[in-house]
Amino acid sequence: MSTSTQAKSQLGKRKRDDKTLDEHATKARDDNVLPDSGPTTANPLCINAPTFPIDSAFGSDPGDAILKEPELDLLFFKQFLKAPGRKALFDYMLAELPWYRTRGMTIRTPRWTCVWGCDDTGAPLAAYKKKPRPIPVALQELKQHVEERTGATYNFILCNYYENGKDSISWHSDDESFLGPLPTIASLTLGSSRDFAMKHKTDKSAKPEKWTLDSGDMVVMRGTTQSKWLHSIPKRANAGGRINITFRKAMNVAGTNNYYRYNVGEGPVHRWRNGEMIEMP
């Protein structure tokens, strides 16, 4: 094979490998013709575009800084999203997003999850254990508004669905090295109110904190918060469904692989239908 032919062959392969995530997203949207179309195990990226204006849902709260010693740095937005837009967004996300609960054959998380995005390193697709998924249009629009209000940038969106008060997340911090030393993570609540609890990792004299997050509220954890504090969503009797949308930034390929491993894994895709999660064929 001549040098010219080899170069053309390599260029063609590179172009195929470098298809942008936006192209995948566009195809996924174009495939959604029927009202009942949506995620399947074979094609989890089929998501209908929203039929309502997301712009109309955003409130005007500038956010209140919550600075407490030792080293707690939060920004709290009361009603970042206002009614009725937040209800429309909750219903849309619950029905349209592909949800996962079992990772592989053994680990069942106490909530439903899905994740979108990719680090900004420009690594080839071969570097990823799972192909990164483009952020859907509706979530891209949300991300843009969150970035404008928080002054931070994000390349990942992790969604959790707490089906009822029995679903929860235990004490933890998002302090993985792939998020950088002082990560900013924004957490938006839709649906049922839940308690958001925090406690210092090492200082037993530091007073534990707890806030009730209502639908449309957003809390932003920044600065040293992740390195010094733990947070959780405890179980709550009689709680209804809640969707939590978190905006974060992975700094490298390891971060991308981690998010898809723990929030998609090898488990089946589910979709919300007639008041319950149904496994997709």
Q: In the structure encoding, which two tokens stand for residue 262, read together?
A: 């723990």
pLDDT tens, position by position, 236-276: 999 999 999 999 999 999 999 999 998 988 888 999 999 99
> What value does the mean pLDDT of the chain take?
86
CA–CA dist 172, 246 (Å, integer): 15
CA–CA dist 88, 58 (Å, integer): 12
246 marked as binding residue: yes
Q: Which residues contact 117 (CB under 8 A, 6 or more apart)?
A: 132, 133, 135, 154, 155, 156, 157, 250, 256, 259
Q: Please, what sign has the CA dihedral across residues 119, 125, 130, 134? A: positive
Specify the DSSP class assigned to residue 133. Answer: B
Burial of 187 (0-12, 13-18, 19+ CB in 10 A): buried
CA–CA dist 128, 118 (Å, integer): 10
Residue 63: what pLDDT?
93
- Given a cut of 90, is residue 132 above it in pLDDT? yes
- Helix (H) or strand (E) holding 76, with range, is strand 72-77
**What residue ranges define each of the domains in the chain, with the CATH number in brackets?**
91-267 (2.60.120.590)
Residue 106: what pLDDT?
57
Radius of gyration of the chain (CA): 20
Lowest mean pLDDT among 103-112, 167-176, 179-188, 203-212: 103-112
pLDDT tens, position by position, 30-68: 333 233 456 777 787 788 889 999 988 998 888 999 999
Determine phi and psi for 195, rounding to 5 degrees: -80, 140
175 marked as binding residue: yes
162 marked as binding residue: yes
145 marked as binding residue: no
Reduce the DSSP state of residue 111 to 3 states and report it: strand
248 marked as binding residue: yes
Strand ranges across the sheet with 209-213: 169-172, 229-233, 194-200, 209-213
pLDDT tens, position by position, 62-92: 899 999 999 999 999 999 999 989 999 999 9
- Given a cut of 80, is residue 208 above it in pLDDT? yes
160 marked as binding residue: yes
